[in-house]
Structure 1
Amino acid sequence: MGERKGQNKYYPPDYDPKKGGLNKFQGTHALRERARKIHLGIIIIRFEMPYNIWCDGCKNHIGMGVRYNAEKTKVGMYYTTPIYKFRMKCHLCDNHFEIQTDPGNLDYVILSGARRQENRWDPLQNEQVVPETKEVQKRLFDDAMYKLEHQAKDVKAAADAKPVLQKLVERNQTVWDDNYVANYRMRAVFREQKKELKGQQEVDRQLLAKSSLDIALLPETPQDREMAALMKLQTRSAMERESEQRLDLLMRPALPGATITTFGGLKRQKALSTQLQLQDLGIKRKPASAETATAGGVSSSEESSPDPND
């Protein structure tokens, strides 16, 4: 692909390869407008605000991370590290502010046009791990007694922080010790929830199909269970009343002058009552042959025929 890159550029008829590339031949810079002040040692870059500041012109707050087109200039050296200055215009007013790098303190310094929002604190107050300064490192290297005292303080600080660190380590080991195990546990929980949802959806689908309904069912609640139990008791009592009315109709004589004894007397009443109770409970009666066998050899015809002397 390297031999095709030149196809995207226009080479004029008077182009002479001996003079160099197209930019050098045409007297332009590769950065175009970003290098319009290159003769002054200034180049236009995209600068990101390193911290929160207050603009001195409009007194507005400018948050960390806001980007500007800044003029970058080299103003000095810190040993072998160059020091750069950035000049940019506020996007809310016509004020300009300048920021300079500080390699010695690994920070940025505002020169003019703005002031820094102070959110800094002493890391020792927050019990943070602070690297030793150069003075302390030099003294540790030269003074044996100071080194021994410093080590004793470090050992005491480590002993005080050991229980907290041990709890954090145990928690991490139990929760995120193994990525595969953590992922397996999470997927198992999701799989179980998905299975429950599918089962509930199937139950709802069957209930809607049985009731010929097309509505959205809500999750079951304890109040719904109590209401369903009450309705079940009311329905059962209604069924009992219906069976009693049916038995009353069967026991009622067909002729006006007839009595209950005409249709078999008390034996027939007990048989009909037993038959209705079995039907309500969903139990089928034995066939006639089995009944005759259990009755001691009495035929069904003799049992069904009414006794005139009864």
Structure 2
Amino acid sequence: MGERKGQNKYYPPDYDPKKGGLNKFLGVHALRERGRKAHLGIIIIRFEMPYNIWCEGCKNHIGMGVRYNAEKTKVGMYHTTPVYEFKMKCHLCDNHFRIKTDPANLDYEILEGARRQENRWDPTQNEQIVPETKETQKRLFDDSMYKLEHGSNDLSAAEAAKPRLVSLFNRNEDAWADCYTANQKLRASFRKKSKELKQSNSIDTDLLRKSSLNITLLPEDEDDRHMAAILSKKLTPVNNIEENTNLLRKSIISKSALPTSSFTPDKERKALRALSSTLIDKNIVKKKVSDDISMNSSNLEIVNVSQSVEKVNNEELPSKKQKLCQGLSLLGEYGSSSDTD
């Protein structure tokens, strides 16, 4: 199939082989649109993000492996290795960032527009296999005793890790001995989780539609429920039982034991003053004590009110008559509200 690549091209009738290849004859670059800046030393390539970064324009995370159309430019040399710079645009905003190769450290260096997400760790802490450094490799090649000691240390480390590896292997065998049962349990857990997610999504959708909101709701939390109940006055922000009891006791003591009435103590004193000034001298009010001893109650009645009114001098001023009638009305209201003690 390789021999067909050179023939699978269209050569126009006016093609002249003396002018060179087909691209030179047509006056285009071999990379077509990707080589439109070739005269500036810039080639557009597909660049894959070597590690996780944070975009400084939109503050979003860009994961390792995301590909971009990047402008590749040669900016220098490290001994005999060229150093390249890549400029690309963020796919989430209008920010551009530039990344340069670092042959000395076998890494990539961010120049501007982004920052690296630092999630690196020491691989020796979790007992990973780490390649030897150049100094160690050189010493292993030159020093036979060091090579022997290095090999013995590796053997001792392997023997120390063997019991743990065996236990992990046995655990894996017990869990996946019956592949059908293990797969069935795994799929059941996935279905349960999917059902819970659908229910929560439906509840959130109904709440957002009811509230006319367009936001992302987070999962419910017990602290959030407690705070919402406090804000809606369904709970008191007192967590101690003793404090709740004291508040309830104070509210009971401060509340009146009798039913509320419109006849206040001020009105009572005002009625007594009116009666003492107008009716005491004429013996209008009489007391009557009931003979019912079994009930142990006393009743006060107002008698001969009409006779007392007739005995009042007709020549008195209308203001005095009004005061007298007002006092009688207050007295009758007072007597009717306290029939039983």
Q: What's the TM-score once normalised by structure 1's chain length?
A: 0.50
Q: What's the TM-score once normalised by structure 2's chain length?
A: 0.45
- Richer in helix (by share): 1
